[in-house]
């Protein structure tokens, strides 16, 4: 009847008003509402807009311009030109003079060469966009693993709580029996005291487990981007052992180096540093731009506006800027070396994570096998010791130890099962086989 007791305890532990939740539902809710992931996605969108902004700089700019001027004396309303002298009746003093002038129209600038800032700036912005998108995709994979691992931790503690509660309830019955037997004189008071101590210890274990479960459920709620319900979550169990990995450790390592999005973002950073190094070199080159304007010039002394326009091709060859460009070039070269070292560090970190993940699977599989054996043995030993104690042939210490071992065996089984499931998920996560794809 142990299974019936466990079911009844589970019903007692999970309030009817608790929010039911499956592993897949928790994962979906986290991917849709986790604030940190939403921030990463928004950062990727911002980087996309910056890339478009950088691409648009090559088209130059057109502005509406205007000015109102008041001078100390009359000045020419428009720049002097030969057109003003084509009418022989006009003299020099009949030109458009006025101290109050209005000028308005359109001005434009189109860069042709900008010291590399146009081409390299566009590439750098595009690479920054890729890096942000890669980090957002990695954030999704990391969140998916964290939610699933936290969900299983909560399930583990739920089963531990069921086992500890059943253990406590059994000892509560034993306490009543022990007190009765002491009154009848068939037990020594010291034996009853041992039962009382075991019961209080089980009571403390249950309270500690409840606190741990509440904490893990709060973490799960935070990962899902919500507040934990007052009654917590009624978590659907995740049964089944994952199949042994099909590939080797070397296969997982190669998959990780090829598919990890955080490594891809680090490689983007190296490419950005390379473009910045090129930009620092191109800053020594010439700059060429086209500029001009179309203006209307007005003043109170003239009857109609005077139109002017201008077109210019401008060349700038930088010669000296206080050694700024030299130091910027050196800084860019050092930053490139830093980025390459960071990429190497990330590659080594990923290879170590893969090895750790493979080891976790092996260890948790062995842990589950031991948990199964401990669960079966604990239940049988507790049954035998209880019979022996009832028949007067057993010892109180042996019985209490068997009860504790039964609870530990039940706990060990669930810990091993969920540890194996989480370890399999971890292998998928660190080897980029668990959702780091667009």
Residue 303 belongs to some domain of the structure = no
| Domain total of the chain | 1
Where residue 140 sits, what CATH number does that domain have?
Answer: 1.20.1600.10
Per the domain annotation, does 49 fall within a domain? Answer: no
Q: What is the pLDDT of residue 9?
A: 45
User: How far apart (Å, rounded) are the C-alpha atoms in residues 324 and 314?
Assistant: 23
- Joined tokens for residue 46: 């911002």
pLDDT < 70 positions in the chain: 1-19, 85-93, 247, 389, 394, 396-397, 434-438
Q: For the segment 391-414, what is each residue's pLDDT rounded down to a tens digit? A: 777 676 677 777 778 888 888 888
Give me the pLDDT at residue 433, please: 79
pLDDT of residue 174: 78
β-bridge mates for residue 291, sequence order: 109, 312
Is residue 52 situated within a structural domain?
no
Query: For residue 67, with 0-12 CB atoms within 10 Å meaning exposed, 13-18 middle and 19 or more buried, which class applies?
Result: exposed
**Which pLDDT value is given to residue 186?**
74
Residue 169 in domain = yes
d(CA 369, CA 377): 12
Q: Is residue 423 part of a domain?
A: yes
CB 224 within 8 A of CB 165: no
- Asked whether residue 398 is domain-assigned, the answer is yes
The answer to whether residues 420 and 368 touch, using CB atoms and an 8 Å cutoff, is yes
Rounded to the nearest integer, the mean pLDDT of the chain is 87
Domain that residue 128 falls in: 2-33+115-283+318-430
Residue 195 lies in a domain: yes
DSSP string, 72-134: EEEEESS---GGGGSSTT--GGGS-EEEEEEEEEEEEEEEEEETTHHHHHHHHHHHHHHHHHH
**Residue 214 counted as domain residue:** yes
Percent of the chain with pLDDT over 70: 91
Q: What is the pLDDT of residue 63?
A: 96
- DSSP for residue 187: S
pTM above 0.75, yes or no: yes
């Amino acid at each position: 009847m142990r299974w019936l007791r466990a079911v009844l305890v589970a019903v007692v532990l999970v309030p009817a008003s608790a929010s039911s939740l499956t592993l897949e539902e928790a994962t979906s809710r986290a991917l849709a509402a986790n604030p940190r992931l939403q921030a990463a996605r928004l950062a990727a969108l911002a980087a996309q807009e910056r890339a478009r902004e950088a691409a648009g700089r090559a088209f130059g700019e057109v502005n509406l311009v205007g000015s109102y001027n008041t001078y100390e004396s009359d000045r020419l309303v428009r720049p002097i030109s030969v057109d003003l002298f084509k009418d022989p009746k006009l003299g020099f003093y009949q030109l458009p003079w006025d101290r109050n002038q209005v000028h308005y129209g359109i001005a434009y600038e189109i860069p042709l060469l900008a010291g590399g800032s146009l081409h390299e700036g566009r590439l750098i912005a595009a690479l920054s966009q890729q890096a942000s998108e890669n980090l957002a995709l990695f954030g999704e994979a990391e969140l998916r693993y964290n939610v699933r691992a936290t969900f299983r931790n909560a399930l583990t503690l739920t089963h531990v709580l069921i086992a500890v509660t059943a253990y406590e309830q059994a000892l509560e019955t034993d306490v009543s029996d022990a007190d009765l037997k002491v009154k009848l004189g068939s037990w020594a008071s010291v034996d009853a005291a041992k039962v009382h101590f075991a019961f209080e210890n089980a009571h403390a274990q249950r309270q500690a487990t409840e606190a741990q479960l509440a904490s893990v459920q709060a973490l799960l709620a935070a990962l899902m981007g919500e507040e934990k319900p007052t009654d917590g979550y009624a978590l659907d169990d995740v049964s089944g052992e994952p199949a042994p990995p099909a590939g080797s450790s070397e296969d997982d390592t190669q998959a990780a180096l090829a598919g990890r999005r955080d490594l891809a973002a680090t490689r983007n950073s190296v490419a950005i540093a390379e473009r910045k190094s090129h930009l620092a070199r191109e800053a020594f080159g010439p700059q060429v731009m086209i500029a001009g304007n179309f203006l209307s010039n007005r003043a109170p002394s003239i009857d109609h506006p005077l139109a002017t326009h201008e077109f210019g091709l401008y060349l700038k060859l930088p010669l000296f800027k206080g050694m700024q460009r030299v130091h910027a070039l050196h800084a860019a070269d050092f930053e490139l070396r830093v980025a390459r070292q960071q990429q190497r560090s990330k590659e080594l970190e990923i290879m170590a994570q893969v090895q750790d993940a493979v080891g976790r699977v092996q260890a948790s599989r062995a842990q589950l096998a031991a948990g199964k054996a401990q669960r079966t043995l604990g239940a049988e030993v507790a049954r035998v010791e209880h019979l022996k104690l009832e028949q007067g042939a057993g010892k109180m210490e042996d019985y209490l130890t068997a009860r504790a071992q039964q609870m530990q065996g039940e706990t060990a089984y669930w810990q091993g099962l969920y540890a194996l499931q989480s370890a399999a998920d971890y292998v998928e996560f660190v080897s980029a086989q668990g959702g780091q794809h667009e």
